[in-house]
Structure 1
């Protein structure tokens, strides 16, 4: 087990832990939460042996193998697949030793050792390692082609995925993950969540994704007031326990305040009387020894609101046969070629729509968002924007485009040059940029603080259309919750790409999906999307497994692909009908229970007494309305059953 005993730790002059204890049992999956700067990464440093406690003991069995995600990725020529396999360092050592022995001249006396190495490699599953690594990389969003590309060819976010793959490839008893979902799309997060549920060792994960924590962990460790406080259950259970604890703490503070007042009153009245001196002294000692609870610090929760849009054209945007993609200029000939990512886009954005954009990694979600934001011009078709359209566009490059040598006040004054400085300061203060921070260069700011500034600049401009591409990256839980609440109350139109399922559920009411180069409505919820991802990946694996081994192989593979597509189309037709039938059955059950209750009440003779005419009239009206509603529900249920039979036929 992992055990912290009376651990204290300072970083510089800042105390992070003060005589704190914690026990984590083998096999537990632990979510580590706390405010930014509370010491989460430092706790990981203690577990990795990179930091040492100033006082107390922190450790786990020396036989445990530890895996964690490297923060740096060298620009190697090594392929992505080989780099992932390198995570199993023990296997690589066996392979290197075997290669060295086999390279020795004939007659060398190493046959026995070679045999031992072959046995050890078999025990380490060396003969399935490439297949296992391919499955990991596929789950994290890499294509077969990308797996053969050198590490140096990938961007920073993709290199972090490779580092995550290395950590998952490493056989381990303890797995430490620090914000593993930051560089992942929703499909990769869902895959990782399933992988971690099956992980047999002890997991400690830092994450600001509450849905991810709810799906993976069974223990929460909260860093608060320089202590490590353990809570059973997932993140939602922690929130409930924490709320109850805060209420209890407040009542204890109030009780202790009353007791202190009573003791002080006794001391004041009797400390000068000789007959009462001994009792007064004992009260003084009791008062000094009383463990005074720290006042409940309901730290000011960060919150903000999007300002009401000044106007709202309707429709805001109409796209007719638009191809979204890139124009590529050839360096030698300067000829321009085009690459369509999403083609034949025909849809309109109506005022007040709240849309979540789904699709696997690389499908073209960001390309579509950029085209709507007019950062990319359509390759074909017609895009018409409503008069008065004001777009607020948030993507990661918005954060990167901030001037690091300038202050938050400078950034806001640049887009609001005619507004009084005090008004700008007040506005930025609402985004947690107080005092000197508002005039300080943003270079040392955290990623979350820079993202918060980018959001503030968007809010100031009062957009009527918000385009958000992964807005929660680098945001802590508090700021994510504030953004979610603000978006839920936003009065304009919203189109969002996010891997944060809590945000999607709370702020959107319909989904579009980008798949196979097309944009189509997705009639279902996030659970349905999870099922869709599973079916899509299964169909892709089936198609990839049908490699042409003879002349007819290509035809067979095409047939398999067509069959998979037919299954997907059938499922897409069937799923919304099945969902509607399920909802109707729930409504019928509730209506039946309601009608039975009304029938029972109407069977009571007392309701027909002279003084109950109004109540009787209400009950009869409710009974008639309930019976009519139940009849309509049953008629629609029959219609949906017929529709389902038609689709399946």
Structure 2
């Protein structure tokens, strides 16, 4: 188990955890929550060994293997599958051992290495790695693409797959849902629910925490409190505790006032001096209950739109995509005033393409997008830096916006008004002069929200706005969107936000945009059905290939062919697994028997007593017979494996 006993952690001079004690039991799945800056990442650094406690005792079982997502962006031209395979550190080490043994020509070491590789799952490592990659939203044709050819968000998904590939006793995940679409998020939830080790995860997605964790650790006011429940249970228990604490505080204040009144009345009277002094001592001994401090939650609101065109916009026979590549065809949809539309769809189906086209950042490839008179769009891009300038400060961003507005309306704003406005979004003091490129993801997201609010839009286009936002800011966003009088179009993997804001959904998939008749639970069932449909499609293609007359080629497109080949490789690996394991065990036994045979022959070449010679001779005969039998079996197994691999192409 993991134990912290009176642990104190500092970052520089700042104390983040002060004398905390907690236990995490093997196999528990723990959500680590708290405000940004409370110390969650610092506690992670303690757990992964990159930081040591400043006081107290911290222990984690020495034999536990740790897995976590590397924070640096991978820079390599290695194929995606090979990169993820590299996450299985035990397998990599054993492969290196085998290579050294083969170079040295050490038969026994080679046999041991093969046996260890079989135990480590080398036979199905590639299918396991590819299942992780596909589960996180990659296409089958991307399995062998170089890592460097993917964008930053996709490379971070590969880092996540690499961490999941590592056999581990302790898995640390810091915001794993960032960069994931809803379909990949649902897959990750299922994988983590089956994970057998101890999991500690930092996340601001309440539904993800509810689905995955059963224990919550809350960091607040330099303390770490354990709750034996998921996030929703923690919220309820926390609220009850605060209510009880406030009641106890009020009751204690009444008692203190009563004691103080007695002291004030009688401390000068000789007859009551002793009683008054005892009351003073009682007051000093009393362990004061802290009041529940109402922390300043971040809140904001969208300004009332100047007008509400209806319809906001209409798309007629639209085709959307990049360059000459069409992703969505024959799109015919209208967006009306006041609608709250959630945009659903599997990864790569065109959700961001649809939003970017409506946001005017890319033109339609065909058809027409007709905007209502006075349409004012507020666009939150999935990558905040698409609309931010890294070298500029928040104040410079706002000054530029104000100048554009002044050019359009003739009304200008003072710099102090802009500073005051930024202060509402927690940009105070010197922060307004800090370069955006040096800010955290949450700060950048708040700045984008501030800029959108300033523009006073009537149509909000939000593409994954909650990446990097903490729970309090997500709730503030949900409240602001619910009070917004204009129209909202939202792409998000945050199901709590989608549930609280959207009252209808569009489904983007198979090259089309259509209304989705159902809620998010229906959509998750749809995702499962889609996965089943794809599996059946592969199975049908496989059956067709097997039934095809000799000399004919099955009519499969390249993507289906690659899927079929991957499935066939996995089936072959599964079928050959027991044969290879038996062959490896035979190799290991043969090496051991050959060593024993050489030892016996050397022993018999020396002067021995008659009884010892007889014993050694009997044993030598038994060894030779077993060797002959094993070598014949090894040849049979090798022939079967080679024939199966040759037949599979």
TM-score between the two structures when normalised by the length of structure 1: 0.81
The aligned runs of 1:269-280 (5 Å cut-off) are 269-280=265-276
554 and 218 in structure 1: CA distance in 2 versus 1, 3 angstrom threshold: farther
Q: Provide, for residues 148-196 of structure 1, a one-character-per-residue CA deviation record: whole Å limited to 9, x for no partner.
A: 0111222211111111111111111111100000111111111001111
354 and 121 in structure 1: CA distance in 2 versus 1, 3 angstrom threshold: same
Residues in 2 aligned to 1:2 and 1:277: alpha-carbon distance in whole angstroms? 54
1:46: Cα distance to partner? 0.5
Structure 2: gaps of 5 or more residues: 404-411, 561-649
549 and 148 in structure 1: CA distance in 2 versus 1, 3 angstrom threshold: farther
Higher RCO (C-alpha 8 Å, min separation 6): 2
Q: Find the counterpart in structure 1 of residue 2 from structure 2.
A: 2
The answer to whether the 8 Å contact 2:319/2:365 transfers is: yes
1:419: Cα distance to partner? 1.8
Q: Find the counterpart in structure 2 of residue 211 from structure 1.
A: 207
Instruction: Indicate yes or no: 2:109 matched with 1:113.
Output: yes
1:295: Cα distance to partner? 2.6
Q: Find the counterpart in structure 2 of residue 23 from structure 1.
A: 23
Q: Find the counterpart in structure 1 of residue 172 from structure 2.
A: 176
The answer to whether the 8 Å contact 2:16/2:38 transfers is: yes
Indicate the SS of the match to 2:188: helix
1:362: Cα distance to partner? 0.7
421 and 249 in structure 1: CA distance in 2 versus 1, 3 angstrom threshold: same
Residues in 2 aligned to 1:75 and 1:435: alpha-carbon distance in whole angstroms? 37
Instruction: Indicate yes or no: 2:96 matched with 1:86.
Output: no
Instruction: Indicate yes or no: 2:501 matched with 1:476.
Output: no
Q: Find the counterpart in structure 2 of residue 600 from structure 1.
A: none
Residues in 2 aligned to 1:448 and 1:97: alpha-carbon distance in whole angstroms? 45
Indicate the SS of the match to 1:416: helix
Q: Provide, for residues 259-304 of structure 1, a one-character-per-residue CA deviation record: whole Å limited to 9, x for no partner.
A: 2222222222333334433333332222222222223122111111
1:98: Cα distance to partner? 1.4
Q: Provide, for residues 84-113 of structure 1, a one-character-per-residue CA deviation record: whole Å limited to 9, x for no partner.
A: 111110111111211332344xxx4x2222
Q: Give 2:344's match in structure 1, choosing from 358, 363, 383.
A: 358
1:342: Cα distance to partner? 0.9
1:71: Cα distance to partner? 0.6
Residues in 2 aligned to 1:58 and 1:116: alpha-carbon distance in whole angstroms? 37
The aligned runs of 1:530-545 (5 Å cut-off) are 530-545=524-539
The answer to whether the 8 Å contact 1:399/1:451 transfers is: no
Q: Provide, for residues 491-521 of structure 1, a one-character-per-residue CA deviation record: whole Å limited to 9, x for no partner.
A: 1111111000011111111111111111111
The aligned runs of 1:378-527 (5 Å cut-off) are 378-417=364-403, 418-527=412-521
Residues in 2 aligned to 1:527 and 1:100: alpha-carbon distance in whole angstroms? 53
Residues in 1 aligned to 2:171 and 2:196: alpha-carbon distance in whole angstroms? 10
The answer to whether the 8 Å contact 1:399/1:454 transfers is: no
1:231: Cα distance to partner? 1.2
Task: Give RMSD over aligned pairs.
Answer: 2.0
Residues in 2 aligned to 1:405 and 1:75: alpha-carbon distance in whole angstroms? 24
The aligned runs of 1:19-168 (5 Å cut-off) are 19-104=19-104, 108=105, 110-168=106-164
Residues in 2 aligned to 1:163 and 1:175: alpha-carbon distance in whole angstroms? 13
Indicate the SS of the match to 2:192: helix
Residues in 2 aligned to 1:531 and 1:175: alpha-carbon distance in whole angstroms? 28
Residues in 2 aligned to 1:56 and 1:400: alpha-carbon distance in whole angstroms? 46
Indicate the SS of the match to 1:426: helix
Structure 1 runs (4+) deviating above 4 angstroms are 549-558
Instruction: Indicate yes or no: 2:313 matched with 1:317.
Output: yes
Structure 1: gaps of 5 or more residues: 328-337, 562-649
Instruction: Indicate yes or no: 2:368 matched with 1:374.
Output: no
557 and 52 in structure 1: CA distance in 2 versus 1, 3 angstrom threshold: same
